[in-house]
Homo-oligomer: A and B are copies of this chain.
Amino acid sequence: MTDVPVLDLSADVVSLTRQLVDIESVSHNEVRIADAVEAALRPLAHLDVSRHGNTVVARTDLGRAERVVIAGHLDTVPINSNLPSRLVDGILHGLGTCDMKAGDAVILKLAADLTAPNRDLTLILYDCEEIESHHNGLFKLTVSDPDLMRADFAILMEPSDAVVEAGCQGTLQFEVRATGQRAHSARSWKGANAIHAAAEILSRLGSYEARRPVIDGLEYREGLNAVMIRGGVATNVLPDECVVSVNHRFAPDRSEEDAERFVVDFFDGFGVTVTDSSPGAHPGLDRPAAKAFIEAVGGPVNPKFGWTDVARFTVLGVPAVNFGPGDPMFAHKQDEHVPVEHIERCERQLKQWLGLDKVDHRGMA
């Protein structure tokens, strides 16, 4: 571990966020930031630290009645002329500020400052969230060390405007295919145009009305959208195939199988091929650990429309919510940023919930 950046966990949470942001960590390039995180956590005597690839896990083992997982990913999408960080008028700008190094900084502050939390903690900082699922550090941990994922409740520090976003919708990616018969375009009556046949697919999509089920008091909103379309052989040939790639977002009261049945039925008469699928996550707000968290944090509770790694906990039977600083609409944008107030509020509320009596969000160490 040579040339490992030094993280100062005694700094305030905003400074710590900047330290993390300024260590470039695009997916597959997380070794330096993971080294830095591991090096900062190892000396803390109240934590049991383990390393799994570029994922770092830190646990207390105080025999508390409940255990909580708090997790954040260390990687970012590619750089877009938005490094290093800049702090302007209470807003921290730069790649990863919102998605999600501000959340990671909160986790590191909890690690450093909560030497005797009222719930046992499993803190997970992982790699490769922004790319294909099989690289995802949390997914790999689910496979290699599922016991480390077990808890009564999980919080994922995904940006959610510093309020609780519960559960998440599932996502089903599939192709709908219209077919025809090739012919020279100068003698088109000898063939059948597959692109023309796709009009019916697009027109059904246009008439789709989204289901909006209420689950645990939260109104979800489904979606069915063409995201890609392709077809054509040459400019003088009638095309014999047109493929529409469709993305379906489904509320967590439906399983992946339910969702697939729905789309096959919806596109009756056309070939449907599922290419990718991830289950939703039930909000689980009826579970005692979740209830207590919601009460402690206060404020609104919103449904999560997008898919996040909370679903990985749901699969293990662990209720999980998204709760992190930053507006998710700015994730992956060139002008990504996070309000300082969000970062400080998340830190303060988590510390209060986890039993730090006197909370001063500056210089807490």
Q: CA A202 – CA B247 in complex, angstroms?
A: 21
A202 adjacent to B195 (CB under 8 Å) = yes
Q: Using Cβ atoms and an 8 Å threshold, which residues of chain B touch A276?
A: 235
A185's contact among B184, B210, B234, B249, by CB below 8 Å, is which?
Answer: B249
- State whether the Cβ of A232 lies closer than 8 Å to any Cβ in chain B: yes
Q: Given that A227-B236, A229-B229, A245-B235 are known contacts, is A199 also in contact with B188, CB under 8 Å in the complex?
A: no
Interface residue? A72 (CB, 8 A): no
**Contact residues in B for A186 (Cβ distance below 8 Å):** 169, 171, 223, 249, 305-307
Contact of A232 among B173, B185, B227, B329 (CB under 8 A): B227
Check if A226 sits within 8 Å of B196, measured CB to CB. Answer: yes
Contact between chains at B231 and A173 (CB < 8 Å): no
Cα distance A199–B201 in the bound complex, in angstroms: 8
A284 located at the interface, meaning its Cβ lies under 8 Å from any Cβ of chain B in the complex: no
Contacts A173-B235, A236-B247 given; does A225 touch B242 at CB 8 Å: no
Asked if A206 is at the interface (CB within 8 A of a chain B CB), the reply is yes
The answer to whether the Cβ of A193 comes within 8 Å of any Cβ in the partner chain is yes
Copies per complex? 2
Q: How far is the CA of A202 from the CA of B206 in the complex (A)?
A: 13
Question: Is A11 close to B, CB under 8 A?
Answer: no
A199-B199, A247-B236 are known contacts. Are A185 and B229 too (CB-CB below 8 A)?
A: no
- Contact residue among B233, B239, B306 (Cβ-Cβ distance under 8 Å from A187): B306
- Is A237 part of the contact surface with B, judged by Cβ < 8 Å? yes
Q: How far is the CA of A167 from the CA of B231 in the complex (A)?
A: 31
Whole-angstrom distance between the alpha carbons of A188 and B231 in the complex? Answer: 24
Q: How far is the CA of A195 from the CA of B210 in the complex (A)?
A: 18
Please name 9 further chain A to chain B contacts, defined as beta carbons within 8 Å, in addition to the given A189-B210, A226-B232, sorted by A numbering: A185-B227, A186-B223, A189-B223, A193-B226, A196-B205, A199-B202, A226-B231, A227-B238, A228-B235
